């Protein structure tokens, strides 16, 4: 993809930002953010196709991997890490990998994304195989770490998707289910942690939430498999159990919840 076609690198429509008042800065950023949901709305059919393909594999015992670098990688790791506590699934079901490893979550290791081989090597460390699903996340759509991984996945008959913010990118060309959310130039030129990152987060929310629903980890509109790991969640689970199980006694419901470990397990054993 030619650099001049990278919309994410296009000049910001705002000039002399350093001369803006704080009110002007936040208002302008908010105006740009309002464009993101509309951009995501345009690609809902592509998001749906990705989710349906991934869910078939997940229900059959496969795993989902997110791969990215920088902000994109961090967002994937964040989304994956929230699935076990929220939905009670094993940590290996939804996986987040990023260029540079765990150290890159806190510190910018920007050159880690420049290798076409490292992404595939990282997947091999997790015994990647057909039946798994790999989603590359890259605002530019050009990140070598992601491109190389998806290219190898295709060679090894592993299904792939992607979330990118430029049209016709190398990452999308190697994805079976590409999602191209075109959010336009950033408020700060090239700062894709802003609108592009917001768009990626919105799509990731859709993917993981829909996948967990398809796995049966949601009942009605409740997180009935959430891990009971602190007082807030214990109280939430207790009240959920009281409502769904018709239990009037708070302490009785709490004891049942703690005994069985989740709302769903407690309901099953009523």
Per-residue pLDDT tens digits for 41-54: 999 999 999 999 99
pLDDT at 204: 98
Percent of the chain having pLDDT more than 70? 97
pLDDT value at 3 more than 70: no
User: Which of the pair, 270 or 208, is modelled with greater confidence?
Assistant: 208
Confidence at 126, pLDDT banded by 50, 70, 90? very high
Does residue 181 contact residue 199 with C-beta atoms inside 8 Å? yes
Q: Which listed residue (82, 110, 117, 186) is catalytic?
A: 82
Confidence at 164, pLDDT banded by 50, 70, 90? very high
Is 4 an active-site residue? no
pLDDT at 270: 83
Does residue 14 contact residue 28 with C-beta atoms inside 8 Å? yes
Q: Which listed residue (32, 113, 180, 186) is catalytic?
A: 113
What lies within 8 Å, CB to CB, of 254 at 6+ separation is 234, 238
pLDDT value at 4 more than 50: no
Give the chain's end-to-end CA distance (angstroms, integer): 59
pLDDT at 111: 72
pLDDT at 169: 96
What is the average per-residue pLDDT within 195-213?
98
User: Which of the pair, 68 or 101, is modelled with greater confidence?
Assistant: 68
Is 82 an active-site residue? yes
DSSP-derived secondary structure letter, 161: E
What is the average per-residue pLDDT within 220-241?
95
CA distance 24 to 28: 6
Tens of pLDDT, residues 8-21:
999 999 999 999 99
CA distance 221 to 176: 31
pLDDT value at 2 more than 70: no
Confidence at 181, pLDDT banded by 50, 70, 90? very high
pLDDT value at 1 more than 60: no
């Amino acid at each position: 993809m030619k650099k001049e076609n990278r919309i994410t690198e296009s000049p910001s429509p705002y000039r002399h930002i350093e001369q803006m008042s704080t009110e002007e800065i936040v208002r302008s950023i908010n105006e740009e953010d309002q464009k993101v949901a509309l951009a995501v709305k345009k690609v809902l059919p592509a998001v749906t196709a990705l989710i349906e393909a991934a869910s078939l594999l997940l229900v059959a015992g496969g795993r989902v991997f997110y791969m990215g670098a920088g902000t994109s990688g961090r967002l994937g790791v964040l989304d994956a890490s929230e699935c076990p506590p929220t939905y009670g699934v094993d940590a290996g079901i939804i996986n987040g990998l990023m260029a540079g490893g765990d150290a890159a979550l806190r510190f910018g290791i920007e050159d880690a994304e420049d290798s076409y081989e490292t992404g595939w090597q990282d997947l091999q460390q997790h015994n990647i195989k057909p039946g798994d699903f790999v989603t590359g996340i890259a605002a530019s759509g050009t990140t070598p770490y992601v491109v190389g991984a998806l290219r190898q996945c295709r060679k090894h008959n592993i299904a792939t998707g992607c979330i990118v913010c430029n049209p016709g990118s190398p990452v999308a060309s190697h994805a079976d289910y590409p999602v191209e959310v075109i959010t336009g130039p950033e408020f700060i030129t090239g700062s894709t942690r802003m609108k592009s990152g917001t768009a990626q987060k919105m799509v990731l929310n859709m993917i993981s939430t829909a996948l967990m629903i398809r796995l049966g980890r949601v009942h009605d509109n409740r997180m009935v498999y959430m891990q009971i790991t602190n007082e807030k969640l214990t109280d939430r689970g207790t009240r959920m159990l009281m409502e769904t199980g018709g239990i009037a006694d708070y302490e009785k419901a709490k004891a049942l919840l703690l005994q069985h470990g989740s709302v769903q397990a407690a309901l099953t054993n009523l």
